[in-house]
Amino acid sequence: MRRKVTKAIFPVAGLGTRFLPATKSIPKEIMTLVDRPLIQYAIDEARAAGIKEFIFVTSRGKGALEDYFDINPVLESALEKAGKTALLDILKTTNMESGAIAYIRQHKALGLGHAVWCARRLIANEPFAVILPDDVIEAETPVLKQMVEAYAETGGAMVAAMEVAREKTSSYGVLDIAEENGRLLKAKGMVEKPKPEDAPSNLAVIGRYILPPQVLRNMPNVRKGAGGEIQLTDAIAAEISHGRPVHGYRFEGRRFDCGSKAGFLQATVAFGLAREDLRDEFSAYLEQLAARRHVAE
Ligand code: UTP
């Protein structure tokens, strides 16, 4: 029987330079979409997919993330005394069971592949998920859950895939497809950040993965790749060269690149409009704004 995926790695050790100066003192993953930090969306998605162990690969200056998932007795008792039960319930969604969450350090930002490799001893010999909290995906069924269900049939390695404009391939890992079967794409190759003219397709890999432990064992043989970083894509591509299956999964949902300012703003608008308590006031404001721009033009 195929092993269940119960562990997930959250690589959060990057420098987040695109959000400077904010990220000088705040981890990017603590920045909020409406009222929840990016990391909360990632954790909720993992829980919905059946993940029980949460492994954070962190770096200097990410202490706010550890505090976020700790209980806050002072705040809890203040809310309790004030009878603010709805707020207490919201607060409790951030509490993690003791021992469910582990933090390890990546001492140097050597790349995503290296960050994932730092968690190797906690993964041991099990398949595991990787979630990049920068990629926030609005979906009816959370994307990692969609993937876990598909993985139960395929095994091997699976990456979330989506079509991007040709001229954008140099920002992504890109799949070379051998066979397509509905949402499943069997890969015969994977390239990190190819120029549009060299890209084998326009199917980009985004930040959700289910990987066999073998990928971690491939890592020491992976040399620095695109951008001088140790790339996760290269360790996954090594699976294909060893004759083991790698699938792309064309997920259902809308992905926002919250690692970029424009993507973060788009997500803020979309998640704001999706909230019942904000929708009317916020959409009226956006309409007013659009009308004013129209008049100005
Ligand atoms: P990014 O490429 O977005 O880099 O990393 P970044 O440092 O977070 O942000 P910018 O580009 O400087 O603005 C993608 C994911 O990989 C993690 C990041 O934390 C993010 O979740 N990462 C990247 C690491 O954990 N370690 C690394 O060495 C590199």
Strands 246-250 and 101-105, sheet pairing:
unpaired
Residue 169 has pLDDT above 60, yes or no: yes
Q: What is the whole-number distance in angstroms between the Cα of residue 216 and the centre of ligand 1?
A: 18
- Work out the angle between the directed axes of helices 261-274 and 276-296 (0-180°, nearest 10): 120
Residue 1 has pLDDT above 60, yes or no: no
Residues 262-282 have pLDDT tens digits of 999 999 999 999 999 999 999
Stated pTM of the model? 0.94
Q: Is 113 in the pocket of ligand 1 (CB under 6 A)?
A: no
- Work out the angle between the directed axes of helices 143-154 and 38-48 (0-180°, nearest 10): 40
Taking CA atoms, 176 is separated from 87, 151, 199, in Å, by 48, 19, 8
CA dist., res. 270 & res. 264, Å (int): 10
Return the ligand 1 atom nearest residue 11 CA: 25
The tokens for 191 are 């390239």
Name the CATH topology of 7-259.
Spore Coat Polysaccharide Biosynthesis Protein SpsA; Chain A (3.90.550)
Task: Tell how far CA 286 is from the center of its chain.
Answer: 28
Q: Is 109 in the pocket of ligand 1 (CB under 6 A)?
A: yes
The domain spans of the chain are 7-259
Q: What is the whole-number distance in angstroms between the Cα of residue 98 and the centre of ligand 1?
A: 27
CA dist., res. 76 & res. 83, Å (int): 11
Residue 64 has pLDDT above 80, yes or no: yes
Return the ligand 1 atom nearest residue 106 CA: 26
Q: Is 17 in the pocket of ligand 1 (CB under 6 A)?
A: yes
Sign for the pseudo-dihedral over CA of 168, 170, 40, 140: positive
Sign for the pseudo-dihedral over CA of 284, 285, 289, 290: negative
Cα end-to-end distance, the chain, whole Å: 63
Number of Cβ within 10 Å of residue 86's Cβ equals 9
Residues 69-110 have pLDDT tens digits of 988 899 999 999 999 999 999 998 888 888 899 999 999 999
Return the ligand 1 atom nearest residue 134 CA: 21
Strands 135-138 and 184-192, sheet pairing:
unpaired
User: What is the average pLDDT across 188-198?
Assistant: 93
Sign for the pseudo-dihedral over CA of 142, 143, 148, 151: positive
Q: Is 226 in the pocket of ligand 1 (CB under 6 A)?
A: no
- Residues 25-43 as b/e (b if ≥16 CB within 10 A, e otherwise) read ebbbbbbebeeebbbbbbb
Between CA 97 and CA 203, with CA 112 as vertex, the angle to 5 degrees is: 105
List for the chain the helix, strand, coil content (%; round to 5). 45, 25, 30
Residues 16-63 have pLDDT tens digits of 999 999 999 999 999 999 999 999 999 999 999 999 999 999 999 888
Measured by CA distance, the residue closest to atom 4 of ligand 1 is 14
Q: What 3-state class would DSSP assign to 99?
A: coil
